[in-house]
Every structure is written in C-alpha cells, then in structure tokens.
Structure 1
Amino acid sequence: MTAQPIPAITLPPIRDPQQEGEWLQVALQNWLNREFIPEQVNEIISQRAARIFVRQRLEGENDLGSLVIAIVTEMQAFDFTESFFSEFAVANAVSDLIIHSLGIDRCCGQS
C-alpha cells in the first residue's frame, strides 16, 4: 500500500475578519482552559494567535498549513514561561479547531 499525501486544506476567502477573529479567540481560549487549567495567560495567547491568523487571512493566505506555520513562527516571540503550552501546541489547536469547524474528520482527513 502506497502512502498518499494528505491533501491541502484551503479555506474560503475571509468575509468577516472581526467575526472570524472573535470566534477563533473564544474557541482557542476555551480549548486552552479545558486542556489544563484556566489561566489569564490563555486569554493573551488566544488573542495573539487570532490576530496572527486574521492578519494572514487578510493578506490572502487561505492554506491552512501555511497559516499554522505562520502562527508557530510568530508565536515564537511570545514568552510561554507562564503557560503549559508552546507555539506548536497553540498552532496545532488552531488547526484542529478550524478543521472541526469545517466538518473534516481530523483522524483521516475525510468529511
């Protein structure tokens, strides 16, 4: 059996940046709070990740993989010492939240 590459996930163009950013910020903060314990830093992390995501989308980036890499890259400047998370965990969580919102099965990439 030959391994097949996972197809890229392309998001539709952004229609309402404020709504998309607010949704992602709330969804990510809820996820961060559920994973370990609710912390004030989770709000800051989720706001920053949502800003990066929306800015990239406004610049025309719609490839989910590229958006995740942008979040990892830009979140490297964030001080995670007060958090249980890292830039990789945050970017992966964003990816999972987006994939789930699109109705895609995270396990196998199928709808």
Structure 2
Amino acid sequence: MAEPIPPVTLPPAKDPLQEGEWLRAALQQWLDTEFLPEPANQQISRRAAQIFVRQRMEGENDLGSLAIAIVTEMQEFDFSKSFYSEFAVANAVSDLLLDSLGIDRCCGQ
C-alpha cells in the first residue's frame, strides 16, 4: 500500500507582507509565462497574495491548508478574462512555495 504524503509545513512567517510581495511577483511571472501576459494576471496574483498574507498572519503554516484557502476564496474571482481557474492558481502557489523551500515536487517525492 502506498504511503501517505506527509504534510508540508512552512516556517513561521517572519514578515508576511514581504512573503506576500514575493508571492505576488512570482505568481504573476508564472501566469504571464505559462500562457499569455494579460491584465487579469495582475489581479489574480494580487488577490492570491492577499489571501496568502492573511492566512499567514493568522498563523497558518500548512501548505495544504493554504492551497485550500486560496481555492475557496478565489472562487469569488471572475476568471472569465483569463486562461486560469482557482485550482490552477492554488496549484501554482503551492509549486512556487515548494520550489522556494527547495522541495522537489516531481513525482510525489
């Protein structure tokens, strides 16, 4: 039987606003590179970073919980002018955070 994937816990936030600005810039770059640079990408990255910062300020360090919060709260965002969805955004945020921690995300490792 396959072993469950252990949770990924981020270090406690030292400067959530700085983390949020890093995430906003990194996510916007990812969005612009993945398909096309479009104005909606700025709004998407800004909103995702706001959610992330608020969650971190509330003490959330679990990556899975952060991703679920982004999916849940981004459901209110109008993605009609974008190639993306709340799930793509949450997955991208997770990947960016894993990369920043030096965690290999290939193949469930």
TM-score tier after normalising by the smaller chain length: over 0.9
1:8 equivalent in alignment to 2:7: yes
Equivalent residue for 2:83? 84
Read off the aligned partner of 1:70 and give its amino acid letter.
A
Q: How many residues align?
A: 109
Which consecutive residues of structure 2, in runs of 5 or more, have no partner in the other structure? none
Q: Distance in 1 between matches of 2:100 and 2:72?
A: 23
Identity over aligned residues, as a percent?
Answer: 74
Deviation readout 1:29-56 (Å, 9 max, x if unpaired) = 0000001010011000000000000100
Matches within 5 A, 1:1-111: 2-110=1-109
Deviation readout 1:28-84 (Å, 9 max, x if unpaired) = 000000010100110000000000001001001100000000000000000000000
- Tell me the TM-score normalised to structure 2 length: 0.97
Q: Cα RMSD between the aligned structures?
A: 0.9
